[in-house]
Amino acid sequence: MRVLPRTVLREVLLLAGFYAAVFLGLILAGAAAPLIKQGAPLGAVLAFLPQQAVLLGMLALPLAMVTAFLACIGRMREEGELTALQAAGVGTWQVARATLPLAIGLAVLLGAAAHLWLPRMAANLMSGRKELLSQAIAAQVERRKPIRQDPNGILAANAVEEDRLIGVFGVQIGEDGGLAALFAPTARWIVDPGAEDEPVVLGLQLDRAFAIMSEGGTAGRVATAVIPSMSTRLPGDGVKLQDKADALSTGELLTRIRTAPERTMRERRAMRNYERAWHTRLMLPVAVIAFWAFACGLGLAAGRGNRMLAVCLGVVTVVATLFPAMILAKEVGERLTIDAAVWVWPPPILLGALGAWLLWRHR
């Protein structure tokens, strides 16, 4: 009996290591491509990727584990090894139990990383992202492309000098038809923390800005101003540096959840974001055990030796479980009055329950 757990665990570990390297490489390539496309220097991007690898590994490792379980148990089922074990009086539960130490070890690792390392790494990554994004936008300026442009306005600069932009100008059309124009001889990049419910983004510190503002309508008034120093946020996915909640320690998150007010819409959105970060950190190790139960149960019930199928099922399983916590709870849940737990916890609980039933059914 001791041979079976060692053999199964050895195969799963080899597969998990291979898939972890593949998934992590693909995820890092996906993270680097937009930065390189925006104009960030290739060397700077490659130097920044090892910092991101630690955080992105928290996604790549569960993906690799689920795929390895499905591939290993699916192969054993398709090649008749499970049937031979049952004929010898060995229950298929022994195969699933042999992989449990890997799932428990990964759950402990991700739990510790989420509570102890994630806040510190998120804070350290902010400065690296600021440098990369500022270099990328500086490259846009050198190619005579605007910093930001949409149907209602434009923000651009004439040149780049070291870490400063020269001749920054912008125009914005308001909803009422009013016009605002701005010019600053020089500007430099800053980290703009924004309000309590807003993410940390890349911003511009404008020196001696000249502003002209006109109201909408035929009789609109015109106002001018000279502002010695002002900062402006650069909204959009490409300039987001950090989510405040992810950089807070677990203790700080719990304190804010218990004491922060929730009267206004802004305070409510901030609270939903704190709850999302808090519950996600608690949910990650539970999700790993749910992944183990579901992958082993599905492998015993309907596994196949096709590794590409295992990859597809693994990606769908992990993404479908973590999507509500990572995306819906952040983008939609913060606008609601209900606790973010309703987005975070149901997917892993339902997946774990289904996996437990499959394991019991095919024990």
Domain boundaries in the chain? 3-134+246-361, 148-233
Average pLDDT, the chain: 80
What's the pLDDT score for residue 217?
57
What's the pLDDT score for residue 194?
64
Say if CB 135 and CB 265 are below 8 A apart: no
- Confidence label for 310 from pLDDT (cuts 50, 70 and 90): confident
Interval 121-144 mean pLDDT: 75
Given a cut of 90, whether residue 70 has pLDDT beyond it is no
Given a cut of 60, whether residue 28 has pLDDT beyond it is yes
Work out the number of other CB atoms within 10 angstroms of the CB of residue 40.
22
DSSP state of 256: H
Q: What are phi and psi of 53, to 5 degrees?
A: -60, -35
Interval 219-229 mean pLDDT: 76
- Confidence label for 353 from pLDDT (cuts 50, 70 and 90): very high
Angle at 110 between CA 327 and CA 296, to 5 degrees: 85
Distance CA 168, CA 198 (A): 25
Given a cut of 60, whether residue 188 has pLDDT beyond it is yes
pLDDT in tens, 320-337: 887 777 766 666 655 666
Given a cut of 60, whether residue 65 has pLDDT beyond it is yes
Which two tokens mark 7?
């053999």
Work out the number of other CB atoms within 10 angstroms of the CB of residue 195.
9
DSSP state of 198: S
Nearest to 52 by CA among 122, 116, 108: 122
Rg of the chain taking only CA atoms, in angstroms: 26
Taking CA atoms, 187 is separated from 11, 146, 346, in Å, by 57, 15, 47
pLDDT in tens, 335-352: 666 777 888 888 899 999
What's the pLDDT score for residue 335?
63
What's the pLDDT score for residue 227?
82
Whole-number percent of the chain with pLDDT over 90: 8
Least confident segment among 61-75, 86-100, 323-337: 323-337
H or E segment and range at residue 158: strand 153-161
Distance CA 350, CA 290 (A): 8
Distance CA 310, CA 296 (A): 12
- Confidence label for 56 from pLDDT (cuts 50, 70 and 90): confident
Interval 275-284 mean pLDDT: 87
pTM of whole model > 0.85?
A: no
Given a cut of 90, whether residue 108 has pLDDT beyond it is yes
Given a cut of 50, whether residue 237 has pLDDT beyond it is no
